[in-house]
Structure 1
Amino acid sequence: MRPVTEREVRASFVNCTKGEAKRLAVPRNLSTWPWEDLDFLGWQDPAAPERAYLVAEVGDGLVGVALRRAAPHAGHVRRSMCSLCLTTHSRDGVSLMTAARSGRNGQQGNSVGAYFCSDLACSLYLRGKKQVGPGGRPHETLSLEEKIQRTAEYLAGFLGKVVA
């Protein structure tokens, strides 16, 4: 992903108002993110753990979505798999995240959900830059480029449902 500015991030959101986009918590250290290793920019709101945000390059522009993270289940010990990068986490490492659909559908309360890595560090797990532990990444015969392409396709599918 190419480096982006706070202004570009705020302007990219498709499922919230301009006022909401202006008030959301954008990471302050955007210049230090590992852009060459990112397929999308994803972060949690430090003041509201149930909120997360995702910004991805789509065509020539950016598409940002505000996400709601489902509350983790007490005593949750099973393993879950992220639907983007296929990384398996135990406990609350994977969360159901929902995004209000853009436009009239979102205003009527319609949303789209998927299971994502709770920290939205899918790109780093995929490249082995961030480790989950034993059994976190299944062995695959795909090349890294093919895994990145698959993740990009899954992400495009999710974003397509949000903006449809």
Structure 2
Amino acid sequence: MKLFNQLITALFFSLISTSAVFAHGETVVQALGKTTTGAAATDIWKITCTKGPDKKGGPIVTPTRLTFHVMDLAPVHPAVISVQAFKGTLKSPVYKDPKDGDKVYGPAGFASLKGGQGDYYLKITKSASTVKGVEKYIPQFHCWSDSSTGKNHSTISFRLIQNQ
């Protein structure tokens, strides 16, 4: 029965954590970690950048890169929230939100990973802390094209595949 309940819970979270949108990958507030421990935790998002319009009826755009950053929300804890993108053998540097609870994304502006169309993985990590508790965050990501007509969004789909 316990296994059945775990499977139902996993199925429920996978269904509510999947989204497909035209341009922006802005998501709702996510919780990272557990209330009973200060241990490190990691969420992983699968983001698919595909050729398509940034909005209904918009021009078809071919993505060249994923841009991203993260906002560490209150409660303010000593734990640090960081973000890193991967695609195949490519990976971005690790970026940290420099100030917890200030309602500003880190890194300033957007970080990016240039890998073209396809599946990217965004790893959001809460560092270990002596203070027990959950850290809340908001990830933001976009699929961009570096075209001669300017920087344009392409079609994006995403889902949370690891929720710690």
Give the TM-score normalised by the residue count of structure 2: 0.27
Give the TM-score normalised by the residue count of structure 1: 0.27
Higher helix share: 1
Higher strand share: 2
Larger radius of gyration: 2
